[in-house]
Amino acid sequence: MMLAASVMTGLLTGCDSARATVSRVVDGDTIDAVVDGQEQRIRLLNIDTPETKDPNADVECLGPEASAFLASLLPPGTEIDVVTDDEKLDSWGRVLAGVVLGDGRLVNAEMARAGLALPMQVGENDRFLPDVEQAHSEAVTARRGLFDPTVACTVPGQVDAVETAAAGLVSGATATTPEDADSAAIGAAAVVATAIALRSKLNSSVPGDALIWRAAHLVSDRSRWAARVVTSEARARSTVDGARDRARVLRTPPAPPAGGSSIPAPRPKPTSGGGGAVTSPTRKPAPAPKPKPAPAPKAGGGSGGSSGSGPVGYTGPRCYAPGGKTWKPC
């Protein structure tokens, strides 16, 4: 397709261009537009937006938002100027161009200004790169889109989330049960794992494929983000150690008192009464002492010889009669 030559006013001058009408937005950096009665697919030059259409990849952070923002700039029926650079088509047959609105705004730069696109050069095409880079710098300064810490999926959003999670960890050092201490350790360990993964990506010399990581590598804040993650990781590790120590203490039986036996004395077995009820053991009472027997009367006791014994109370010598049954004082 031959694009008519014209002189643009405003941001762009001296490029091949053509008037077109938007038919639909494909994603954050691609549209379909009708040029001279023929629909063409147009890839916006010098920007890259989060992926939404790749069948082999997940939808990226802020991909749907980028598509929605472009659709708000280019609703169907919008009249635009399509401005090309040195290389007119890519390997998929898409027209590589800048898209200019009727008020002179370069749509490519507006996507970067919203923080929803990164600067990118394709081949020798760099006509729109200075405008895109300027808009990108504005987005970084204003923390928009990919640089917004309030958006959970962005890199600064993930850094904030780890920092908040580490600050909110429940200490297990004062837990009253082993289960509570274990729970605190598990929660802190999850924060440690997240921090390690995030720190690894931030410290990598090669950004990941996702646009959020390429965005992180374009700003000086990356080193400060990494330092904050390291601090959060250290705090979470300390919580893990404290909780595990507490769990061990709670599971260790108390030591016996000094000088005492660690084996308790056996308790007496309860006895069962006649009605089946268990009664406490009782000691049997000591037997009462038996009464002493009265002394037997002495044989021959009495007074005088008639009784066969001497006088009562006599202690002198005794003279016994034959047979030894009676006696008298000698």
State the pLDDT at residue 315: 75
State the pLDDT at residue 125: 94
Alpha carbon of residue 174 to chain centroid: 18
Ranges of residues in the chain whose predicted pLDDT is under 50: 1-14, 297-307
Q: Which of 24, 39, 41, 43 is catalytic?
A: 43
- Per-residue pLDDT of 190-245, as tens digits, reads 999 999 999 999 999 888 779 999 999 999 999 999 999 999 999 999 999 999 99
Identify whether 51 is a catalytic site residue: yes
Contact between residue 278 and residue 272 where contact means Cβ atoms under 8 Å apart: yes
Q: Which of 94, 113, 228, 246 is catalytic?
A: 94
Beta strands 278-279 and 327-329, pairing class: unpaired
- Per-residue pLDDT of 30-47, as tens digits, reads 999 999 899 999 999 999
Identify whether 94 is a catalytic site residue: yes
Identify whether 235 is a catalytic site residue: no
- Mark 36-45 as b/e (b = at least 16 C-beta within 10 Å): eeeebebbbb
